[in-house]
Amino acid sequence: MLRRLVAFDTTSHLSNMALIDFVADHLAGHDVGSTRIENDDGTKASLLAVIGPRVPGGVVLSGHTDVVPVAGQDWISDPFTLTEAEGRLHGRGAADMKGFLAAALALVPEFLDAGLKIPIILAFSYDEEVGCLGAGPLIQRLVADVPAPFAAIVGEPSSMAVAAAHRGIDNFVTTVKGRPGHASATHKGVSAVAYAAECVAFLNRLETELRIVTASDDFDPPFTTINAGCIAGGSATNVIAPECQIDWECRTVPGVTAADVAGRLNAFVEQQLLPRMRDIAPEADVTTTPVVSVPGFSAPADSPATALALSLTGQNHPITVPFGSEAGMFKIAGIPAVICGPGSPDQAHRANEYVTSDELEVCAEFLRGLARWAARAGAD
């Protein structure tokens, strides 16, 4: 099953429809119906399926179908052909997170034979890697069409450790507009690149300052991080750049909000940059626009989702994870959530990404335990 899923190139800028067709056909082959929740232009879809009775108290198995790009990475094999080497199954998405999807889909016959008294619900989304864009409509449809679930298990790669918290993620675009001119007369122009560089330097200083606002040591790292990931502007060394764009993100711990971070940058711009820029070019401007917001996630100590996952794994305490996920969106929708899936988070987004056969089997046993629990209707 993992081999089939990896073979679909579902990089986020591409359609995932071929994979969704395959999953729907697989489920239909076992007499399980499914519902598609398409994006606005019909190029992508999430999939929702209920296995077992349509009664309250089911458990959602949540995962995303998209993967990150392979461009610029040094792969030892075709990223979209699952390749086994020394027990490692290499392929884009093997860990993040088609391994979990494969385990869930491969066990559909066992779920059907388990005598479920409450349902196991499959919720597969699109565009998680670019801001959890598909999860919102999918969760809305789930809440509208499916009796209230007991819990959601988000199968992001956690090495099958139970995770109950992660930081929030917010992406911004800062656009700097200056005044073009000849590079021999820099006193007559305003370089958007130069002032964008000051914005990046400020964000770096701000991250250092925010390290004193720490969360639980379970967070790794236990402070807010800021990263200016992309910058683009200018056309030639002898031209004063009229415009420059910075794509940046912050990952916030409890006690810090993305609005705090953006507000500090805006104050710096208003007080330090714009007066100097507009002294030469009154039309100069700097604007920061939010692009994507993924809510942070922190399950309460008495979360039934955490308790269920701990009981199925035999673990005693949950951990936190450094990445974002759709878990916070389930929590906001009133569905207790937890993160637990095969593969190491260290493998995500890297060349030669892999999951091991042993990890997949541990995940399969976890899901078999879930099916046995659902067959008892959560009696214990």
pLDDT the model gives residue 255? 82
Q: Active-site residue among 128, 249, 326, 353?
A: 128
Q: How far is CA 315 from the centre of its chain?
A: 25
Does residue 128 carry a catalytic annotation? yes
205 in a domain, yes or no? yes
Based on the fold, state whether residues 330 and 283 are members of the same structural domain: no
Coil vs helix vs strand at 267: helix
d(CA 108, CA 105): 5
Are residue 160 and residue 188 in the same domain, yes or no? no
Interval 67-91 mean pLDDT: 95
Per-residue model confidence (pLDDT) at position 91? 98
For 27-49, what is the mean pLDDT? 98
Among residues 294, 313, 335, the one where a domain terminates is 294
Q: Tell me if residue 279 is catalytic.
A: no
The mean of the pLDDT values for the chain is: 96
Residue 218 has pLDDT above 80, yes or no: no
Q: Considering only 12-21, 180-189, 216-225, 240-249, which range has the smallest mean pLDDT?
A: 216-225
If asked whether residues 324 and 229 sit together in one domain, one would say: no
258 and 320 together in one domain: no
Rg (CA), the chain: 23
User: What would the mean pLDDT of 177-185 be, rounded to a whole number?
Assistant: 97
The pLDDT, as a whole number, for residue 219 is: 79
> Is a pLDDT exceeding 90 seen at residue 215?
no
Distance separating alpha carbons of residues 277 and 285, to the nearest angstrom: 8
- Do 289 and 300 belong to one domain? no
Number of domains in the chain: 2
214 and 226 housed in the same domain: yes
- Nearest-angstrom CA–CA distance, 133 and 299: 22
The end-to-end CA distance of the chain, in Å, is: 32
Distance CA 121, CA 215 (A): 33
Within a domain: 380: no
Which of 308, 310, 305 is closest to 325 using CA atoms? 305
The CATH number given to whatever domain includes residue 262 is 3.30.70.360
Helix, strand and coil in the chain, % to nearest 5:
35, 25, 40
Confidence of residue 220 (pLDDT cuts 50, 70, 90): confident
7 and 148 in a single domain? The answer is yes
Task: Note the helical H segments in the chain.
Answer: 2-6, 17-28, 99-106, 108-113, 135-145, 192-210, 258-268, 274-280, 304-313, 327-332, 357-375
Tell me the C-alpha distance between 228 and 249, whole Å. 7
Same domain, residue pair 240 and 192:
yes
Q: Tell me which residue range forms the domain holding 44.
A: 2-165+296-375
Residue 249 maps to a domain: yes
Within this chain, do residues 174 and 161 fall inside the same structural domain, yes or no?
no
Residue 55 domain-assigned (yes or no): yes
Q: Tens digit of pLDDT for each residue in 252-277? A: 988 889 999 999 999 999 999 999 99
310 shares its domain with 179: no
- Residue 380 in this model has a pLDDT that exceeds 70: no
Note whether 154 and 259 are same-domain residues. Answer: no
| Cis peptide bond N-terminal to 56, omega within 30 | no
DSSP at 149: P
Q: What is the pTM of this model?
A: 0.90
Q: Does 200 fall in a domain?
A: yes
The pLDDT of 358-367, averaged and rounded, is 97
pLDDT at 273: 98
Task: Show which of 294, 311, 332 is a domain's final residue.
Answer: 294
Residue 214 has pLDDT above 90, yes or no: no
CATH number at residue 58: 3.40.630.10
Pick the catalytic residue from 66, 127, 129, 326: 66
Residue 132 within any structural domain of the chain:
yes
Same domain, 57 and 102: yes
Last residue of a domain, one of 265, 294, 323: 294
Task: Check whether 11 has a pLDDT greater than 60.
Answer: yes
**Which of the residue ranges 32-36, 62-66, 195-199, 210-214 would you say has the lowest mean pLDDT?**
210-214
Q: What are phi and psi for residue 48, nearest 5 degrees?
A: -125, 130
Q: What percent of the chain has pLDDT over 70?
A: 99
Residue range 183-210: mean pLDDT, rounded = 97
